[in-house]
Chains A and B, each alone.
Chain A
Amino acid sequence: MQSNSNRDLAVGVFVLLGLGVIAYLSLQVGGLSLREPGGLVLFATFDDIGGLSPRSSVRIGGVKVGRVESIDLDDDLRARVRLNLARDLELSVDTAAAIRTSGLLGDQFVALEPGAEDELLVTGEDFAFTESAINLDKLIGSVVHGEGLGGGD
């Protein structure tokens, strides 16, 4: 009986360990969120989102404050991005959302630049000011053809 209960203890530890690892892989690595509702949900509309994808991060001054939840086309065929942010985040109504890239070819993320108004954005509202992703192809094209950069002759 003694060896039996030792064995059961070992099996219990093994099962707990396995479930713990599955939970780690799902929650931490896989980014599955158990408390989906409750965050601050805001929308931002862009002409061009570049390589932004769901689960991309949202940052203020480089600090991660949330993630992109989903991306859809709105009625005007512009990209409407749904952002899920930390619940206690206080953003003024003139906060600007821009799509930036970390490094030259790195991941794209939404950068928020806080404004100066006293009024705060509440869940479900849209950002008034947005700035699309920089399209590397267009940028190279404009340099090659001498357009728009004030160069030329």
Chain B
Amino acid sequence: MRRGLSNLGAATLRQIEELGRMIRFGGRIVMAAGRPPFRWRSFMAAVYDSGLLSVALICAAGLTVGFVLGLQLYNTLVRFGAEDSLGTAVGLSLIRELGPVLTGLLVTGRAGSAITAEIGAMRTGQQLDGLRMMAIDPIHFVVMPRAMAVFFVLPLLSALFVALGIFGAYLMGVEVLGLDGGTYLASLEAAVEFDTDVLQSLVKSVVFGVLLALIATWRGYSCEPHSAGVSRATTSTVVTASIAILLADYLLTALWSL
């Protein structure tokens, strides 16, 4: 009994310590970003890897989610004779929730895991120690550009997802199911407001970007220096970041509706 309790206590303390180390690591990234020179070359390369190469995935996912939303919501709304509100339903659900959350999860899987594996492999190959030997701060040289890139591209990708989702639902509702295109867009534009919906979407995607950037780089940086450690760190990035994004989404939604 006593032993079980002290095990629980030790495990809790370890988690809290880990959280504290991660937040301090985040502070070091921010400090590094403010310290010249800004690593434009690595930043551009990271934006290319995390952002541009995710565009195809985000477009395909956004379009598909748009199709599904259009079809499902149409079938529900048509029972109440309210199929003219399809634009409202699609727009609000995509902009407020699905856009930022699904983009966050997809980018976690596509780019977050890659960043963890890359930094983890550098740690395993002692390249991070090598940089430090040359008096180059690995956080400034390796971690900061990648973290900044994830933070920077997530709102862009999320907006892309939302736009393609709206377009996908338009294709489904107007071209396939025969709704009026003007009605769809008018009900969309009448229902969506900047300060409650679009701003909420942007804030969410920025927060998710911070969470993912921090978790992915920290897991790679703190990974155990062997191949099993890299694999564990990569898995842990996907799990932790997904949970963090979903939790943050709930908190932000609750705060917004206060």
* In the complex, chain B residues whose CB is within 8 Å of the CB of A32: 194, 198
**B157-188 interface mask toward A, CB cutoff 8 Å, 1 = contact, 0 = none?**
10110110010000000000000000000001
Q: Does A78 contact B (CB under 8 A)?
A: no
Among A8, A14, A19, A29, max chain B CB count under 10 A is at A29
**B76-102 interface mask toward A, CB cutoff 8 Å, 1 = contact, 0 = none?**
000000001000000100010000000
A7 close to B192 (CB less than 8 A): no
- Contacting B at CB under 8 A, from A2-24, are 7-8, 10-11, 14-15, 17-19, 21-22, 24
B163 close to A25 (CB less than 8 A): yes
* In the complex, chain B residues whose CB is within 8 Å of the CB of A8: 44
Q: Out of A25, A57, A106, name the residue touching B95 (CB < 8 Å).
A: A25
B48 close to A11 (CB less than 8 A): yes
A57 close to B198 (CB less than 8 A): no
Q: Out of A18, A25, A30, A57, name the residue touching B157 (CB < 8 Å).
A: A18
* B interface bracket (residues with beta carbon within 8 Å of A): 20 to 34
Instruction: List B residues at the A interface (Cβ < 8 Å).
Output: 44-45, 47-48, 51-52, 55, 84, 91, 95, 153, 155-157, 159-160, 162-163, 166, 188-190, 192-194, 197-199, 201-202
B193 close to A30 (CB less than 8 A): yes
A-B pairs, 7 with minimum CB distance: A18-B156, A30-B194, A30-B198, A32-B194, A21-B159, A22-B159, A21-B163
CB distance from A39 to the nearest CB of B (A): 17
B197 close to A21 (CB less than 8 A): no
Q: Out of B153, B166, B193, B202, name the residue touching A31 (CB < 8 Å).
A: B193
**Cα-based distance from A7 to B149 in the complex (angstroms):** 15
CB distance from A24 to the nearest CB of B (A): 7
B163 close to A7 (CB less than 8 A): no
**Cα-based distance from A26 to B95 in the complex (angstroms):** 11
B190 close to A24 (CB less than 8 A): no
Quick one: closest A residue to B190, CB to CB?
Answer: A107
**Cα-based distance from A21 to B193 in the complex (angstroms):** 16
Quick one: closest B residue to A103, CB to CB?
Answer: B84
Main secondary structure of the interface of A (DSSP, over half): helix
* In the complex, chain B residues whose CB is within 8 Å of the CB of A7: 44-45, 48
B155 close to A22 (CB less than 8 A): yes
Inter-chain contact total with CB atoms closer than 8 Å: 71
B159 close to A11 (CB less than 8 A): no
Number of interface residues of A (CB under 8 A): 24
* In the complex, chain A residues whose CB is within 8 Å of the CB of B157: 18
* In the complex, chain A residues whose CB is within 8 Å of the CB of B52: 10-11, 14
* In the complex, chain A residues whose CB is within 8 Å of the CB of B156: 14-15, 17-19, 21-22
* In the complex, chain A residues whose CB is within 8 Å of the CB of B153: 18
CB distance from A71 to the nearest CB of B (A): 14
* In the complex, chain B residues whose CB is within 8 Å of the CB of A87: none
B190 close to A55 (CB less than 8 A): yes
Q: Out of A15, A18, A19, A57, name the residue touching B190 (CB < 8 Å).
A: A57
* In the complex, chain B residues whose CB is within 8 Å of the CB of A22: 155-156, 159, 202
CB distance from B209 to the nearest CB of A (A): 12
**Cα-based distance from A30 to B156 in the complex (angstroms):** 16
A25 close to B159 (CB less than 8 A): yes
Among A8, A10, A11, max chain B CB count under 10 A is at A11
Among B84, B95, B159, B197, max chain A CB count under 10 A is at B159
* In the complex, chain B residues whose CB is within 8 Å of the CB of A18: 153, 155-157, 159-160
